[in-house]
Amino acid sequence: MKKQPAIMHLPILLSLLLVPFVSNGQALPEKKPYITTKRKIMMDLTDAGLSLKNGLYIRIFKHDRVLQIFVEKDGTYRLFKVYPICRYSGDLGPKKKQGDRQAPEGYYSIMKHHLNPNSDFYKAVNVGYPNEYDRSHHYTGSAIMIHGGCSSIGCFAMSDSIMMELYFIVAAGLQHQKVIPVHIFPFDMSDRNMEKFMNMKEDNDITNTINSLPGKEIGYKYADCIGLWKTLKEGFDYFEKNRIPPKVNVVNGNYVIARLREKADE
């Protein structure tokens, strides 16, 4: 049989390059916006010298309304994308119960079954709430998402165009790693910000009036969050120093940064 010219295989090669990612058993449609996003992200990765075949790490800062994506290279994680969060609901502090419309804080994980390309809010990625820590404290609720639509009742809402990019990156990353850590912080946990928010007074006039009565002190607004925030700061500081996501365990209902614990045991 006469051998066909190599050029005859070009359509086959192109079709392989444009195979959609499969997530949660469903394939993303190969529509023009998706293809355009795919090309853009791949060009950005090439320019940065990064690859989605390496590890991904996501950080969210609620007060700053920022989502960061890091990609591993040569053993450390490099900042790849910074996306604005269109909206999140609730105040600073953890989510504790179903219906409180509060966005969570803590150390979470994204896996393939957390992807939803057909969300009512364009596309969605479940952050994995509740985790082991939440369950140990009997916190309730579920289906806390990063999604499109720019509207939130307990989730992290992005614009649809940003969500398309974010979804592509996460879905592509999960082809090469089983779990993507997503760490949700109340704010950029610098020493200065910790002091600022830990010492913030109640801003409710009625509460302040009651607490100002003889024998009463004005309360701290986030007093119930301080214990959690201190453990979140340990993980934040670990990454800032080492540029590697910390390994986190839950021991007796508390987050424990594994490497810090191992170092302390030496």
Q: What is the span of the domain harbouring residue 96?
A: 20-187
Q: Which residue has the higher pLDDT, 247 or 7?
A: 247
Q: What mean pLDDT comes out for the span 49-68?
A: 97
Global pTM reads 0.83
Task: Let me know if residue 241 belongs to a domain.
Answer: no
Residues labelled as active-site residues:
147, 155
Task: Let me know if residue 233 belongs to a domain.
Answer: no
pLDDT at 139 over 80: yes
106-122 pLDDT, tens digit each: 999 999 999 999 999 99
Task: Let me know if residue 8 belongs to a domain.
Answer: no
Kindly report the CATH number assigned to the domain that includes residue 163. Answer: 2.40.440.10
Task: Let me know if residue 48 belongs to a domain.
Answer: yes
Number of domains in the chain: 1
% of residues, the chain, pLDDT over 70: 80
83-105 pLDDT, tens digit each: 999 999 899 999 999 999 999 99
Task: Let me know if residue 195 belongs to a domain.
Answer: no
Task: Let me know if residue 79 belongs to a domain.
Answer: yes
Q: Which residue has the higher pLDDT, 121 or 211?
A: 121
Q: Which residue has the higher pLDDT, 219 or 123?
A: 123
Task: Let me know if residue 173 belongs to a domain.
Answer: yes
Task: Let me know if residue 11 belongs to a domain.
Answer: no
- Written in H, E and C, the secondary structure of the chain is CCCCCHHHHHHHHHHHHCCCCEECCEECCCCHHHHHHHHHHHHHHHHHCCCCCCCEEEEEECCCCEEEEEEEECCEEEEEEEEECCEECCCCCCCCCCCCCCCCCEEEEECHHHEECCCCCCCEEECCCCCHHHHHCCCCCCCCEEECCCCCCCCEECCHHHHHHHHHHHHHHCCCCCCEEEEEECCCCCHHHHHHHHCCECCCHHHHHHHCCCCCCCCECCHHHHHHHHHHHHHHHHHHHHCCCCCEEEECCEEEEHHHHHHHHC
